[in-house]
């Protein structure tokens, strides 16, 4: 649908649509922008506009040992989950793409399950398993859970990449004497790189933002940033949250920008 | 002569011993692919399939086999009301998301590329902003002394601050904000593929704009509508953070029933039974919609 449609030819109806769309976009974006000035307020009360400006909430965040520890946990876990989910997801997507086996094709559905099962049920289930095997409130436990939740992102992204890749190129490389792994790494992987990068970034952001499973399975010294934020928010509207929110949003935004840039590069 | 005889018997002689290289290659290939997929599968097995199986088993347990947990869901009004509230909120949010999202997706799909990019960016940025951040933003906006209330009072539209948060309204507003992108993105993906020629053809045949929209564009966009409706409704059924933060303890949704039974009361049987019922609802919805639109297309948007 490239052509500006003939549907809304009368000027007033187009104008009306434009107004409506602008209002909906404002609804989507303004609440996120409102956090930014709040984070620079010098007041404990959330009046808008803030009575004065300061960096005190950022100072509060960076000076607090417990907030810093939670931030370190979250970043470390998100990074490790990305490093784990990306290769495993690539391997699984590659296998599903190249197989003719019925069994493996049937499994395709299983790999989408983490996106289909309500997250609260995942959380309760993982909580139970971890309680049995002693992974509660541990870093490996958090990493594994975020890996499981992130796998579908890598797999759908890589599957789309493989769909647009001519598999015979890898066969040519192998027929010329490369072993399979080298052929994959030097011929296939570079060509599906944008999909891999976007899958990995999705996993990272999703792991960083993951809250509900972390509420159940993280704790003690290994509490995630999101769990701490949630617990604080349940009690009061602490302006420190505004500072953290701004930092988190900036991080997500930077990663999306990175993603957009990495997609553009191969073309020119 | 002898050579051609040998060539003719070879394939027949080779097959029974299982040495056909092509078949052997295929088997090895299959084994390799299975091996490659297995680590990812094992993680999902251990962290998702096993816990789900355990939840189902647990829901029938209380010192032996029992149906008491399910009977309680049927008998106690708290459970009934929670499921009713959850379905009502999900229905309202889903319909509102369609009303807000359809024109937005339509505008993005019919705009020139650059403007479409801007619209999509404004949809995707909130999509990737933490749910907690957005819940916090709405708490700021909707609280008694918040921006919306001071705006309404400043304009003389209301005398007293309205109760916009810590109730069902607050939950619905924040949930709608969080789930709207899940409606817009599948809608846009579908609309983008509708050929503009068809609409021009409709118009050139004398169809008035609204008529062409109604008879050509709308039916072609229905798979996207269905995908969006399903995604938003199903996600909303399991929503936890916003009702917990925005509901003020009065708006109880199913997910909160599950978490309270586990965290406060250690009632694993009750929590499991509620989970299984919720899972069944979600499963049935996916099963029904899966006949019309491939499930991969629905959940792939996330």
What is the 3-class SS of B249-271, one letter each residue? CCCCCHHHHHHHHHHCCCCHHHH
Instruction: Using only the alpha carbons of chain A, give its radius of gyration.
Output: 23
pLDDT mean over A91-111: 86
User: What's the token pair of residue A125?
Assistant: 């289930």
More confident residue, A167 or B138: B138
* pLDDT of amino acid A71: 95
Total number of domains in chain A: 1
Over the stretch B186-223, which tens digit does the pLDDT of each residue have?
999 999 988 888 888 888 887 777 888 888 889 999 99
Residue A56 lies in a domain: no
Q: What is the pTM of this model?
A: 0.88
Chain B residues 12-71 with CB within 8 Å of chain A:
26, 29-30, 32-37, 39-41, 43-44, 46-52, 54-55
Residue A81 lies in a domain: yes
* pLDDT of amino acid B301: 61
Neighbours of A55 (CB within 10 A): 13
Interface confidence, given as ipTM, is 0.87
Kindly report the average pLDDT of chain B as a whole number: 86
Task: Report d(CA A239, CA A219) in Å as an integer.
Answer: 23
More confident residue, A171 or B177: B177
Torsion, Cα B256 B260 B266 B267, to 10 degrees, reads: -60
Nearest-by-CA chain B residue for A85: B40
Does residue B15 carry a pLDDT above 60? no
User: What's the token pair of residue B256?
Assistant: 């909160």
Over the stretch A5-54, which tens digit does the pLDDT of each residue have?
445 556 777 888 899 999 999 999 999 898 888 899 888 877 777 888 99
CB pairs under 8 A between A and B: 298
Find the domain containing A138 and state its range.
Answer: 64-267
Residue A251 lies in a domain: yes
Are residues B299 and A152, on separate chains, in Cβ contact within 8 Å?
Answer: yes
User: A144 CB near a chain B CB, below 8 Å?
Assistant: yes
pLDDT mean over B32-60: 93
Over the stretch B109-147, which tens digit does the pLDDT of each residue have?
988 888 888 999 899 888 888 889 899 899 888 888 788
Residue A51 lies in a domain: no
pLDDT mean over A222-250: 89
Selected for mutation to probe chain A from B136, B198, B199 (highest A CB count within 10 Å) is B136
CATH code, domain with A85:
1.10.3720.10
Are residues B54 and A128, on separate chains, in Cβ contact within 8 Å?
Answer: yes
User: A53 CB near a chain B CB, below 8 Å?
Assistant: no
Contacts of A4 in chain B (CB under 8 A): 110-112
User: What's the token pair of residue B201?
Assistant: 């053809």
Tell me which residue has tokens 């250690």: B266
3-state secondary structure of A217: helix
Are residues B51 and A147, on separate chains, in Cβ contact within 8 Å?
Answer: no
Does residue A128 carry a pLDDT above 60? yes
Phi, psi at A158, each rounded to 5°: -70, -40
Over the stretch A199-235, which tens digit does the pLDDT of each residue have?
999 999 999 999 999 999 998 889 999 999 999 988 8
* Residue A268: pLDDT band with limits 50, 70, 90: very low
* Residue B4: pLDDT band with limits 50, 70, 90: very low
* Closest by Cβ to B134, choosing from A24, A31, A47: A31
* Closest by Cβ to B262, choosing from A47, A118, A124: A124
Domains delineated in chain B: 68-299 (1.10.3720.10)
* pLDDT of amino acid A265: 54
* Closest by Cβ to B44, choosing from A24, A110, A128: A110
Selected for mutation to probe chain A from B130, B172, B184, B196 (highest A CB count within 10 Å) is B130
Kindly report the average pLDDT of chain A as a whole number: 88
* Residue A149: pLDDT band with limits 50, 70, 90: very high
Residue A55 lies in a domain: no
* pLDDT of amino acid A124: 93
Are residues A121 and B258, on separate chains, in Cβ contact within 8 Å?
Answer: yes
Does residue A148 carry a pLDDT above 70? yes
From the CA of A260, how many Å to the nearest CA of chain B? 11
Task: Report d(CA B280, CA A131) in Å as an integer.
Answer: 25
Are residues B30 and A124, on separate chains, in Cβ contact within 8 Å?
Answer: no
* Closest by Cβ to A7, choosing from B129, B212, B295: B212
DSSP bridge partners of B65 = B61
Over the stretch A49-80, which tens digit does the pLDDT of each residue have?
788 899 999 999 999 999 999 999 999 999 99
From the CA of A45, how many Å to the nearest CA of chain B? 10
Residue A45 lies in a domain: no
Smallest CA-to-CA distance from A29 within B273, B73, B121 is with: B121
Does residue A170 carry a pLDDT above 90? no
Q: Give start and end residues of each alpha helix (H) in B76-215.
A: 77-110, 113-127, 131-142, 147-154, 168-192, 196-204, 209-212
Residue A229 lies in a domain: yes
DSSP codes, A121-164: HHHHHHHHHHHHHT-TT-HHHHHHHHHHHHHHHHHHHHHHHHHT
Neighbours of A27 (CB within 10 A): 16
Residue A234 lies in a domain: yes
């Amino acid at each position: 649908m490239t052509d500006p449609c003939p549907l809304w030819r009368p000027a007033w109806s187009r104008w009306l649509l434009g107004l409506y769309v602008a209002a909906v976009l404002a609804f989507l974006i303004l609440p996120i922008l409102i956090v930014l000035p709040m984070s620079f307020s010098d007041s404990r009360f959330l009046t808008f506009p803030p009575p004065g400006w300061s960096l005190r909430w950022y100072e509060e965040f960076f000076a607090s040992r417990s907030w810093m520890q939670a931030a370190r946990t979250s970043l470390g876990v998100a990074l490790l989950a990305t490093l784990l989910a990306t290769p495993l997801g690539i391997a699984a997507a590659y296998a599903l793409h190249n197989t003719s086996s019925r069994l493996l094709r049937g499994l395709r559905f299983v790999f989408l399950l983490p996106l289909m099962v309500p997250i609260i049920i995942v959380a309760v289930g993982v909580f139970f398993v971890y309680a049995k095997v002693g992974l509660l409130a541990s870093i490996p436990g958090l990493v594994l859970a975020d890996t499981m939740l992130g796998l579908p992102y890598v797999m759908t992204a890589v599957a789309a990449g493989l769909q647009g890749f001519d598999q015979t190129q890898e066969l040519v490389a192998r027929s010329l004497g490369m072993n399979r792994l080298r052929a994959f790494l030097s011929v296939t992987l570079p060509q599906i790189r944008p999909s891999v990068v976007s899958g990995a970034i999705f996993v990272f952001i999703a792991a960083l933002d993951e809250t509900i499973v972390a509420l159940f399975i993280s704790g003690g010294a290994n509490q995630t940033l999101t769990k701490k934020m949630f617990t604080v928010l349940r009690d009061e509207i602490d302006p420190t949250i505004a500072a953290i929110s701004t930092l988190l949003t900036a991080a997500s935004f930077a990663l999306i920008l990175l993603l957009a840039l990495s997609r553009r590069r191969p073309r020119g | 002569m002898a050579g051609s005889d040998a060539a003719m018997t070879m394939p027949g002689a080779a097959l029974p011993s299982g040495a056909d290289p092509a078949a052997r290659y295929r088997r090895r290939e299959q084994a390799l692919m299975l091996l490659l997929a297995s680590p990812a599968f094992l993680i999902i097995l251990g962290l998702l399939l096993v816990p789900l199986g355990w939840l189902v088993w647990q829901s029938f347990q209380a010192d032996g086999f029992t149906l008491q947990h399910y009977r309680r869901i049927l008998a106690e009004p708290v459970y009934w009301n929670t499921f009713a509230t959850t379905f009502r909120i999900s229905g309202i949010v889903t319909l509102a998301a369609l009303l807000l999202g359809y024109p937005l997706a339509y505008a993005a799909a019919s705009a020139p590329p650059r403007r479409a990019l801007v619209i999509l960016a404004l949809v995707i940025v909130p999509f990737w902003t933490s749910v907690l951040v957005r819940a916090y933003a709405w708490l700021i906006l909707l609280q008694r002394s918040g921006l919306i209330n001071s705006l309404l009072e400043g304009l003389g539209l209301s005398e007293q601050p309205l109760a916009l948060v810590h109730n069902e309204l607050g939950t619905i507003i924040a949930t709608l904000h969080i789930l709207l992108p899940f409606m817009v993105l599948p809608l846009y993906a579908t609309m983008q593929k509708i050929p503009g020629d068809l609409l021009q053809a409709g118009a050139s045949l004398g169809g008035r704009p609204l008529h062409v929209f109604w008879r050509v564009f709308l039916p072609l966009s229905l798979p996207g509508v269905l995908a969006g409706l399903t995604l938003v409704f199903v996600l909303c059924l399991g929503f936890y953070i916003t009702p917990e933060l925005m509901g003020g303890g009065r708006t109880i949704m199913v997910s909160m029933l599950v978490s309270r039974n586990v965290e406060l009361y250690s009632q694993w049987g009750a929590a499991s039974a509620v989970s299984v019922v919720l899972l069944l609802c979600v499963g049935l919805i996916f099963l029904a919609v899966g006949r019309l639109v491939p499930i991969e297309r629905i959940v792939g948007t996330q």
